[in-house]
Structures are given as structure tokens and as C-alpha cells.
Structure 1
Amino acid sequence: MLLDKPYGMTSNQVLQRAKYLYAAAKSGHTGTLDPLATGMLPICMGEATKFTSVLLKASKSYEAVIKLGYQSTTGDAEGVITKLSDAANIRLNIEDCKSMLRQFVGKIAQTPPMYSALKYQGKPLYNYARKGATVERIPRAVSIHYLQIKSLSGNELIVSVQCGTGTYIRVLAEDIGKALGCGSAYLISLRRCSVGCFHLNQVKTLGMLEEMNLMERDRCLLPIDSILHEFPSVSLDKAEAQAILCGRTVPRNNTKNPMDHTQQKNIVRLYYQQFFLGLGEVSMCQSIKPKRLLSDSYFAKQDHNLLSRIC
């Protein structure tokens, strides 16, 4: 389920609401958004929770509204705001900003903010920050795939960002403010526009789901393998599917597979008669072993004859 997280709710609150609406026994979101952020929050339910790591690692894009010349204790509008400089007096223009922001594209080092869920001695950093304490944080490498300016009006800068996992847009906003000579900056608002191959035009709001009946809600769900399209697919015959579901390795020496032979491990989507079975791992000698499979109970719910046809 692709949800449009509303302003002011935590990601977990949205998750719990979706879990209730679908009466899901298992559920999990695939990347936390701060309460003040909005936008795409993919929710995995049931057997899809086995594959959440794929979306957790996926690149994400955002639209960020940044206020230059100010500093926030939290990096966003929730913190205590202090004015540092008047961006208008620095005479910023879009071309200068574009030139300066090129330094942030590629692999850069970021120091995680104190107001984050990263753990220190078993406790989230925000627990220390709320008590006025600061702990040493080690800078880490993150990837910014692109960073484009959409507009600049006075001291408000709107940018589009596509980045890899682990990137803090609040920290990026602060670093942009420093690089532009404004002392610092903070996020006025943040909206996540995409996660992996999914985009905002696919999302539903909680309000929309609450107005639907159960059948209408079910039609909003995407198939499990929709989050796994980065992996090539392999169709198995009956004997191969039987072996895989029993945890055995399947030789594929005489079958063409779209593998990258420079890598020792390759992950593929496994299918039997167009039914998604799970993920497999292909060795250099082209044998496939099961890596993460769907459960028998899932197959029974989808097609009660599927397992009998295989076994």
C-alpha cells in the first residue's frame, strides 16, 4: 500500500491506522518520515513484510522548502528558531545557488542530527537531545543523486532532492545554508515524492481508504513483487518449483538467465506459471537456491490449487 502520510502524524501512527483498516496481522513501513513531513510512505503487510529491506535501501526523492539564515535546534520548524543572518543582504541569486549546490551532488559526509532515532548506548539520540545533552556522532557517507533548485524567493529556497538511504534532508538544509554564507538554514516543510520506482501519483490518503469498503481497499493494494522489479525474473518448471519450495538448490546450466556474471551473488524473482514464489540466489555456476520464499499459507489464500499443482 502506497500512502500519503499527512502532516503532524508519526510514521508509526499511519502504519497502525493502515494495519487496522486492513486487519493485517503483520505490517511495517519502509522508511520513517518525521511528523512534519508529508508524502509517500509505503506500507508492507502480511508476506510483503519479508521484502521491506528492498524499499528501505531504495533511493528516495523529496521537495524541500528551506529557510536560509536561520537555525533550528531540531533542523526543522518544530525546534527553537534563531535568526543568524539576512539572506537578502547576501544578495543570493539562483545561478549562484546552483553553482554552490553542485558540491553536494555525489557522495558526501553527513553528521547525523541529535534529533534522530539513531541509537547511542541503547537509547535514541533524541532522548539525549530533549534533555539538552549532546553526544559525539561520527560523520557517515551518503549519496545525493541530484539536487535542483525550483525557486528562490527572499530567504526561502525550494529544492528537489534525490538521494540514497540514510540521508537526512534536515542536515542537508543546514549545510546548504552554511555553504551559501547564511550561517545555517532549516526545513520549513518536506514532502517525499518517490520511493524507488513508486511515485506520488500512485498514493492514497488515509481519508480515502476510510471511505472505501473492504473490496475497494483491497483493489488499492499492489502485488508483492511490484517492489522487486529491480531483480530479473526466472520462470521455473514444475520440478524446479518443487525443489525450490523444499529448500533445495536447482541447477540451471542450460538456461539463459539475465545475470551479471561479474558478481558472485545475484538475486532473482522466482515464478511458477506466473505465480510469484519469492527470491532466489544464483551462483556463478548458474544454480539457484531459495533465498526468501512466500509461505504455504499465502499460496493457499491466493490459489488453493497452486500447491497441489506443484506438489
Structure 2
Amino acid sequence: MTNASPTAPQRPRVPRRALDGVLLLDKPVGLSSNDALIRAKRLYQAKKAGHTGTLDPLASGLLPLCFGEATKFSQDLLDADKTYEATMRLGVTTTTGDAEGEVLRTRDVHCDDAGVAAALTQFCGEIVQIPPMYSALKRDGKPLYEYARAGQTVEREGRRVTIHALELIACALPDVTFRVTCSKGTYVRTLAEDIGAALGCGAHLIALRRTGVGVLTLEHAVTLDALSDAADGDRDRWLQPVDALLSTFPAVHLDDEATRRFLHGQRLRLADLSISGDVLGAPRVRVYAAYEGPHEGRLLGVAKAADGVLAPDRLVVTAPT
């Protein structure tokens, strides 16, 4: 009879924190958005976390991460305008529209700086883009990139997007660097391809860095390396409050009784409230308790203000009731 081998002692499970806030992460090249989220969530030992829209592994830059109650408002950043600094290489087209693809064609580049600047102006305002085959958009329940990897090309409908600003930063032909602010759903690599086509030589994207999401910028962002090097108690200083995602919404402050009713999901008559600023016509408003009182001016949630009524939309459950 043999003795059973002793089992290795299990490591104690690290308790997860009920953490609420927004982390402005400067994602490095080569890491997926989900992998970046997992690493940050582990460093913060957070119970609940999510990101506000993917950033390709090829791209670096601003990736806002939401913890706890902030995840309820991540959709607002999914819908927000984005700003990027991008570098494209003229004269070469690839299967993916970026440096990860195989070269399809190489052509001579005959344009100059002025020609490039003139081409950029053609893409300002509302334009129509054909989504790339190497994208996560689905056709008959299957992502387009699966068709592309199988060597298939399927028909895609053009989508209207808006280029709010398009600025030439540097032109060291065949490489061109530009800054673009665009609406959600815009593919910057498709924009680079279309600019290259307009110049008659083709192009593909070789670098992409996101510098802004809505009103959020890289100014207060932190890298994963900096988070890893920081002591456990020091990481929270990089967290923004939950309402950092809502700063463009008009604000409403409620007294104690209105706060109680709002937190129970009750609709409030606007005529009964003391409101500073014009909230009518805004898609949603951010709602706070009064500064003086048991709730101390904290964020209660967001609401819709229409037809004379303030209707709760999403509540912050950590607010005391």
C-alpha cells in the first residue's frame, strides 16, 4: 500500500475590492484591450471592471477602464468622438490596411507635401466608409475577419461617419503623419487607405495612437508599467471619479426628499426642483444630492429630462439611501 503524495498547499485567494472609478490607461502597442483590462483589474484587485471600446493591438494610447459603478456609463464613451495620431505609408497596400497584413501592391509615390495636404481636405465632414474585411463586424452571425482569413470577400454596405478634424502633422514621404478627430465607427486604417487611393499610390497604416476619447485625454493617463511599479496603496491616486465619464452632461442637484425619491426610481416634476442651467433638450443629465445633507453632494446617477419630468435612467447603487 502506497501513501498518497501530499498535496501542495493552495495559495490564499486575494480578496477583490468593491472599487468604483475610471482609470485612464495608456495602452502599449502589442497588447489587446482585453489583456490590458485583465492586467489592470488584477493590479487593483477589483471585483468588476470593463473597457470603453477596443483599441487594436497595433495601436497605443488612451484606453479608459471602468471599475464598479462606472461600468454603467461606459456606453457614453463608446458613442463619443475619438482623436488619433496616425502614420500611414504611401505606395504600399496590404491585405489588412495596416502593417500586420501581407503586401498586395507597391507603387511609386509622386505627390508632394502640398498634394498630401490637399488630399486630406477631401475627407473632412461626413464621408462614407466601406468597413474592412479584417474587422469584428458580423455577417450572418460570423465576424468579417473569419471570412477574410478563409480567403473570402463579402459585400459590405458603406457606413456614414464624420471626420470632425483632419490635420497634417508631418510629411516625410513616403510616410505621412496626421491627427484626426472622428465619430464612433470610423476606421482610421480605412481612412488611410482611402487617402492613399485619392493620391493614386495607395497606402497602409503603420502606427496609430489614440489621444482622446470624448473630453478625456492622455494628459492624466498612466502606463501599466507605472501601475506595476507602484505600491498597492498608491495606485488609487490615478483613479478618476465615476462622473469623469459624464462631464459633458448638465448637472442637477436634489434636496434630501427629492434625493430619497430619485434613489427609489421615482420620477420628479421639474417644476418642483431647483435647477441651475438649462437641462431641457439634453439627452441625459447627471444628478447629484445637495452639498449640505446626509448625501454630501455625491453622484446619484443619470436621468432624462423631458415633458416636465426628471426620470431616473441609471442609478449609482453605492449612494446611501
Match of 1:71 among 93, 117, 134: 93
Match of 1:279 among 261, 284, 302: 302
Deviating 4+ runs (over 6 angstroms): none
- 2:31: which partner in 1? 9
Aligned Cα RMSD in Å? 1.4
Aligned pair count reads 292
- 1:259–1:266 Cα contact (<8 Å) kept: no
Q: Is 1:189 aligned with 2:212? A: no
Q: Is 1:205 aligned with 2:223? A: yes
- 1:235–1:270 Cα contact (<8 Å) kept: yes
Per-residue deviation at 1:226?
0.9
Distance (whole Å) between structure 1 residues aligned to residue 259 and residue 104 of structure 2: 62
Per-residue deviation at 1:222?
0.3
Q: Is 1:105 aligned with 2:105? A: no
Deviations 1:30-59 (A, max 9, x none): 121111111111111111000001111111
Distance (whole Å) between structure 2 residues aligned to residue 117 and residue 217 of structure 1: 33
Per-residue deviation at 1:82?
3.3
Question: What secondary structure is seen at the aligned counterpart in 2 of 1:39?
Answer: strand
Match of 1:259 among 278, 282, 299: 278
Question: What secondary structure is seen at the aligned counterpart in 1 of 2:74?
Answer: helix
- 1:157: which partner in 2? 176
- 1:94–1:149 Cα contact (<8 Å) kept: no
Counterpart amino acid of 1:195? V
5 Å-filtered alignment, 1:12-51, equals 12-51=34-73
Distance (whole Å) between structure 2 residues aligned to residue 37 and residue 125 of structure 1: 20
Structure with the bigger percentage of helix: 1
Per-residue deviation at 1:12?
0.8
Q: Is 1:270 aligned with 2:287? A: yes
Distance (whole Å) between structure 2 residues aligned to residue 14 and residue 123 of structure 1: 25
Counterpart amino acid of 1:268? V
Percent identity between matched residues is 46
Indicate the larger mover: 37-46 or 15-24: 15-24
Per-residue deviation at 1:163?
0.6
TM normalised by structure 1 equals 0.90
Per-residue deviation at 1:93?
2.0
Counterpart amino acid of 1:277? L
Per-residue deviation at 1:109?
0.2
Structure 2: gaps spanning 5 or more residues: 1-22, 292-296
Indicate the larger mover: 239-248 or 252-261: 252-261
- 2:284–2:305 Cα contact (<8 Å) kept: yes
Per-residue deviation at 1:71?
0.6
Structure 1: gaps spanning 5 or more residues: 300-306
Match of 2:107 among 85, 89, 101: 85
Distance (whole Å) between structure 1 residues aligned to residue 303 and residue 270 of structure 2: 12
Distance (whole Å) between structure 1 residues aligned to residue 71 and residue 77 of structure 2: 11
Deviations 1:92-116 (A, max 9, x none): 2222222221110011000110111
- 1:60: which partner in 2? 82
Whose radius of gyration is greater, 1 or 2? 2
Counterpart amino acid of 1:201? E
Distance (whole Å) between structure 2 residues aligned to residue 219 and residue 257 of structure 1: 31
Deviations 1:163-206 (A, max 9, x none): 11000001000000001111x21011111111111111211011
Per-residue deviation at 1:260?
5.6
- 1:303: which partner in 2? none
Q: Is 1:232 aligned with 2:250? A: yes
Question: What secondary structure is seen at the aligned counterpart in 2 of 1:66?
Answer: strand
Match of 1:119 among 138, 145, 169: 138
Counterpart amino acid of 1:281? K
Indicate the larger mover: 16-25 or 67-76: 16-25
Indicate the larger mover: 74-83 or 59-68: 74-83
